Amino acid sequence: MGVTIIGIGSYIPCGVATNEEFGNHNFFNEDGSKFGYENDVIIEKFKAITGIAERRYIKDDLTTSDIASLAAQKAIDDAKIDKEELDYIIVAHNYGDVKHGAVQSDTVPSIASRVKHILKIKNPYCVAYDMLFGCPGWVESMIQANAFIKSGIAKKCLVIGAEALSRVVDQHDRDSMIYSDGAGAAVVEHKEGSSGILAHKSATFTYDEAHFIYFGESNNQELTDARRYIKMYGRKIYEFALNNVPSAMKDCLDSSGIAITEVKKIFIHQANEKMDEAIMKRFYKLYGVEAPEGVMPMTIDKLGNSSVATVPTLYDLVVKGKLENQEVNEGDIVLFASVGAGMNINAIVYRV
C-alpha cells in the first residue's frame, strides 16, 4: 500500500519556437563581448549538445498560474474526484507570475492560492502553498505530499509543477535557447495494494554550488534597465550532475529493496540530452550493467527544458500513450529524478 498517483495531467503550450528563430539574435558573453561564432554555428552546436530542436512558449495573455490551473484541471478530471476533497495544493515553480512585457515577478498571493481561486475550490481547509526548490520542485512536492498522506494529515493532494521560463530569459544569452514553458499536475492519495511511492531521496548542495544557477543582468551591457534574468554556469552544472545524480538515484533505489533489473522507466528532468544520457550511463554502471534501450523517455527535442514541469509532463505523455514506443503498465517500477538550482537533487522509486 502506498501514496499513489490517481490522476495525471499536463499543459503543453501551443507556441512553437524553433532553433532557426534565434538566427537573428545578438549573442554576447557574460562580460559583454560579442560571442565568437556566427549564429548558425551557435545553433548547430547547441542542438548537438542539448538535443533541443524546438521549445514551447505560452501565449501573451497567459501566466504560470494559468497554465498550472489548466494542468491541474486535467489531473482532477483524470482522477474522477470532487475538487473539494483536496486537502493540499502544492505548486512547484521558481519565478512566479511574470506577465508578458512585465519586468517584475508577482508571487503575492502565492501561485497555489491563485490556482485554488481559478479552480473555484471553496473548501477553506484545502491548504495551498508554493514550493521553491529549483527544477526538482515537483518531485520534492510529491515527497511532501507523500509525507502528509502517510502521516494522516491529508487524504488527497494536488501536486503541480509549472513554469513560464520564456518570461525570464535573456535574449542575448545563448543559454536562453534551452528554456521553455509548460505545466504538469498529479492527484495523489493512499491506495490499498502494492502501488505508490516506495522510497525517496533528497539532497541540497550549497557549500560551493549554491549559485550555479542565479538571477543576473543581461549579457548585453548596452541595456540600461534593471531587469534580471535566469543565468547558469552550464559546465559546472554538467559536472555536478554527473558526479552526484547517479549515486543519489542508486541510494534511493537501494533503499527501496528493488533490483535495478526491475526498473522499467526513468523519468528524469529534461535539462540537456547529453547530460541525461551520461547520467543514465553512470547510474547503470554503478550496478555493473548497461542501460536498457528505451528506459529513459525523452521529450527535450520538441519541448525543451520547462524546469519543474518536465517530469510530470513526461509521465503524463507516457501514461496517456502520447509518446511513441513508450508505455508504463500497472505494477511497473519507475524512477522520478531531478537536479537543479540550489543545487538540489532528488529521486523517487514508484510502483505504477
> In 3-state terms, what secondary structure has residue 308?
helix
Model-wide pTM > 0.85? yes
Say if CB 70 and CB 11 are below 8 A apart.
yes
Per DSSP, 194 falls in state S
pLDDT at 317 over 80: yes
pLDDT digits (tens, 9 = 90+) for 193-217: 778 999 999 999 999 999 999 998 9
Can you tell me the mean pLDDT for 218-245? 90
pLDDT score, position 33: 84
> In 3-state terms, what secondary structure has residue 303?
helix
Question: Alpha carbon 151 to chain centroid distance?
Answer: 26
pLDDT digits (tens, 9 = 90+) for 12-21: 999 999 999 8
Q: Is the dihedral of CA 249, 255, 259, 263 positive or negative?
A: negative
Per DSSP, 103 falls in state S
The Cβ of residue 132 has, within 10 Å, a number of other Cβ atoms equal to 15
Angle among Cα 231, 237, 241 to the nearest 5 degrees reads: 145
Cell of 345: 537533487
Cell of 213: 544557477
Q: Is the dihedral of CA 89, 95, 99, 100 positive or negative?
A: negative
pLDDT band of residue 220 (cuts 50, 70, 90) is: confident
pLDDT digits (tens, 9 = 90+) for 106-164: 999 999 999 999 999 999 999 999 999 999 999 999 999 999 999 999 999 999 999 99
CATH of 2-193, one of 3.20.20.140, 3.40.47.10, 3.40.50.620, 3.30.70.940: 3.40.47.10
pLDDT band of residue 223 (cuts 50, 70, 90) is: confident
Q: Please count the helices (runs of H) and the strands (runs of E) in the chain.
A: 8, 13
Q: Cα–Cα distance between 210 and 29 in angstroms, integer?
A: 22
pLDDT score, position 279: 96
Strand 213-216 to strand 229-232: parallel, antiparallel, or no bridges (unpaired)? antiparallel
Q: Cα–Cα distance between 84 and 285 in angstroms, integer?
A: 46
Alpha carbon separation from 199 to 36, 86, 195, 216, 308 (Å, rounded): 47, 24, 12, 37, 20
Of the candidates 217, 209, 168, the one whose C-alpha atom is nearest the C-alpha of residue 31 is 217
pLDDT band of residue 352 (cuts 50, 70, 90) is: very high
Q: Cα–Cα distance between 109 and 193 in angstroms, integer?
A: 38
pLDDT at 1 over 70: no
Q: Cα–Cα distance between 270 and 50 in angstroms, integer?
A: 10
Q: Cα–Cα distance between 295 and 284 in angstroms, integer?
A: 11
pLDDT digits (tens, 9 = 90+) for 242-282: 999 999 999 999 999 999 999 999 999 998 999 999 999 99
pLDDT band of residue 301 (cuts 50, 70, 90) is: very high
79: left (phi over 0), alpha (psi -120 to 50) or beta: alpha
pLDDT digits (tens, 9 = 90+) for 56-95: 999 999 999 999 999 999 999 999 999 999 999 999 999 9
CATH of domain 198-351: 3.40.47.10
pLDDT at 221 over 90: no
> In the chain, where are the structural domains located?
2-193, 198-351
Rg over CA atoms, the chain: 20
Give me the torsion for CA of 208, 32, 134, 257, rounded to 10°: -60
pLDDT at 2 over 90: no
Arithmetic mean of pLDDT over the chain = 94
Judge whether 2-193 and 198-351 match in fold. yes
